[in-house]
Amino acid sequence: MSPRHEEPVRNRLAVLRASRGITRRQLADALGIHYQTMGYLERGEYAPSLHLALRIARYFEVPVEAVFGLDEFPPVV
């Protein structure tokens, strides 16, 4: 049996942060997580728990699908 390869979880965290004019540290502080964790999330090196994903979506006041997805997001123009 071959090892299980999970699809990467893609996100728009950097775009959403930039649109609000906040830093990684400010967002991390607002969410109660370490700022390095925010960097891992933005770079796609770490997939958030469902709880954290929902808290991030609530922070930005958007559906969770607007922040995270399994497919590439279209470029912002």
The pLDDT of residue 5 = 63
The pLDDT of residue 74 = 79
The pLDDT of residue 1 = 46
Dihedral sign for Cα 32, 36, 42, 44, please.
Answer: negative
Domain ranges of the chain: 10-61
Kind of pairing between the strands at 68-69 and 10-11 = antiparallel
Please provide the CATH number assigned to the domain covering 10-61: 1.10.260.40
Mean pLDDT by 10 residues, the chain (77 residues): 68 95 96 95 93 97 94 77
The pLDDT of residue 76 = 67
The pTM assigned to this predicted structure is 0.84
